[in-house]
Amino acid sequence: MSAEMITNPILPGFHPDPSMLRVGNDFYIATSTFEWFPGVRIYHSRDLRHWRFLTSPLDRREMLDMRGETASCGVWAPCLTHDGEYYYLIYSNTRSFAGPYWDVYNYLTRAKEITGPWSDPVYLNGSGFDPSLFHAPDGRKWLLNMVQDPRPGHHRFGGIEMTEYDPVAGRLVGTPEVIFKGSDLKITEGPHLYFHQGWYYLMTAEGGTGYEHAVTMARSRDLRGPYEIDPVNPMLTSRGSNAALQKAGHGSLVDTPTGEWYLAHLCGRPLDSTQRCPLGRETALQKVYWNDEGWLRLSHGGNKPSLQVAAPDLPPHQWPEDAEEVLFDGPLLPADFQTLREPPEETWLSLTERPGYLRLQGRLSLCSPFEQSLVGRRIQDFACEAETELEFSPEHYLQTAGLAAFYDDQHWFYLQVSYEETQGRVLRLVVNEQYKTREPVAAIPLPGGPVRLGAILEGAVLRFRYAVGEGEWCLLEPQLDASLLSDEVGQRYRFTGSFFVLCAQNHTLRKVPADFRKFAYRRKG
């Protein structure tokens, strides 16, 4: 066995709902992206220790239409599989989850190569979310998903539904049937089915995706069940513990070429003395084994996740380190950047109109679920800083651009260049908490020319700074509560994570471009 250790989380920051796959010597993990575009992020490893971003399959509007979807809708819980010929990606596009209903469409796309091209999506069903595809030993294919039940007196999570998928016809066939109603933990979702040593093993997420989250295992000799629940259920959870990795659940299983087994799972890391996780839900890895009774167990014992786990007996394979600073000197956005709900288009984002700059044409406010001129990069560290250089000459207070620390439309901190009638160009710091905005410092007059904007994050403390041209940094006084950028804050539970974003808004008829020359993200400590 390798003496090396895997340090969790393997995918820090907003990377929830991992679906893990091995094809030959290559490992892949697909994670949810919710309202962020392009949809689904796939990571690649050859040793399970070192991971690199590889591709986002849902990269065109025909594959993913999220216009008008509210925060934390969009792409939920993708499932990545391979049948020996094609890669299959199954995903939900959740349009809303208000009230007793989930309005959700489940789709399938496939490709010969993991990097595409991926086929136009095939609509599957809308009975519930977290769809996955099982390739049975006899060659047939089965779609599984949680089924919703909004009827009065019924549990909203109605169990795991299974329907056969015909790859030749490109549609579901037969009658859907519920094969598993769940354990006493309830809130049964996130199904993945595996065939191992004559048993069908059904892995589900239960308990909800917060602090009661868990991985449940059940098995049956027959695909349709009945499924016997693991007698020591749950096999993985953080509930009731002070484990460093909380919210453990939503698992996905893989074996290595040398016969070792690993479980990828969702987790969260709360700030000290709080239950707030500003980095969002992340992906961790645990080593597991099958015991003599045929049940899956954590190699380190118990059912709590570990920060450090033994790496597999595979040659180490490192990838080049990402650059801390990116210049906008190419035709495409850097891979770390995503947009909200729609692909970047020349009407509002250009990397060629002014060579060497990212040019944004302002659109709607940061509170809008519609057209936003915004690009963001995940915050992946509790101690880090971001920096950009902006050229922007507003002529009206409704024209703004700058750098923000952003969770969603209800929670963000925004250092913006704007305009005041009596002062001309100014710098403003705007805080939005549940649609209530405030400005903790007075507007600061700015001369013309480039301005550098920066943000410094240290745990729960966020501070902004600025510099005119190549001048010295000026640190703004207020220490802001970065924990507001967390799933747990607000009127309802949310599912994403925090970003540093470059953005522009304009509620006037006159176009005023915002030109960003560079962006830097630096880990500290």
Average pLDDT over every residue of 352-367: 97
Closest CA to 284 of 252, 242, 316, 313: 252
By residue count, the chain amounts to: 525
The catalytic residue among 4, 164, 342, 371 is 371
**Rounded average pLDDT over 483-497:** 87
Average pLDDT, the chain: 96
Rounded to 5 degrees, what are φ and ψ at 134?
A: -110, 125
Q: What is the mean pLDDT of residues 104-117?
A: 98
Chain region(s) in the chain for CATH 2.115.10.20:
5-310
Residue 154 amino acid letter: H
| Each residue's pLDDT tens digit, 26-40 | 999 999 999 999 999
- Three-class SS of residue 54? strand
Instruction: Give the mean model confidence (pLDDT) for residues 154-169.
Output: 97
Tokens standing for residue 479: 């220490």
Which tens digit of pLDDT belongs to each residue from 320-343? 999 999 999 999 999 999 999 999
Q: How confident is the model at residue 491 (pLDDT cuts 50, 70, 90)?
A: low
Mean pLDDT, rounded, for 90-114 = 94
- b/e map 84-122, b = 16+ CB within 10 Å: eeebbbbbbbbbebeeeebebbbbbbbbeebeeebbebb
- For 188, the 3-state DSSP assignment is coil
When computed from its CA atoms, the radius of gyration of the chain, rounded to whole angstroms, is: 23
Query: At CB < 8 A and 24+ separation, what contacts does 62-66 make?
Result: 62/120, 62/121, 63/39, 63/107, 63/109, 63/118, 63/120, 63/121, 64/37, 64/38, 64/39, 64/93, 65/93, 66/35, 66/37, 66/39, 66/93, 66/341, 66/342
Beta bridge partners of 297: 289
What does the pLDDT look like over 410-439, one tens digit per residue? 999 999 999 999 999 999 999 999 889 999
**Burial zone of 511 (CB within 10 Å; 0-12 exposed, 13-18 middle, 19+ buried):** exposed
d(CA 288, CA 266): 16
Average pLDDT (112-129) is 97
Distance CA 438, CA 366 (A): 14
Candidates 99, 72, 87, 86; CA nearest to 17 is: 72
* 324 is a catalytic site residue: no
CB 308 within 8 A of CB 321: no
CA 93 to chain centroid, in Å, comes to 14
CA distance 288 to 277: 26
- Note the pLDDT of residue 3: 65
What is the CATH number assigned to the segment(s) 5-310? 2.115.10.20
Hey, which CATH number is domain 325-523, 3.90.1150.10, 2.60.120.200, 2.60.40.180, 3.30.230.10? 2.60.120.200
Delimiting residues of CATH 2.60.120.200 domain(s) in the chain = 325-523
Q: What are the distances in angstroms from CA 394 to CA 357, 375, 437?
A: 18, 20, 21
* Burial tier of 448 (Cβ tally within 10 Å: 0-12, 13-18, 19+): exposed
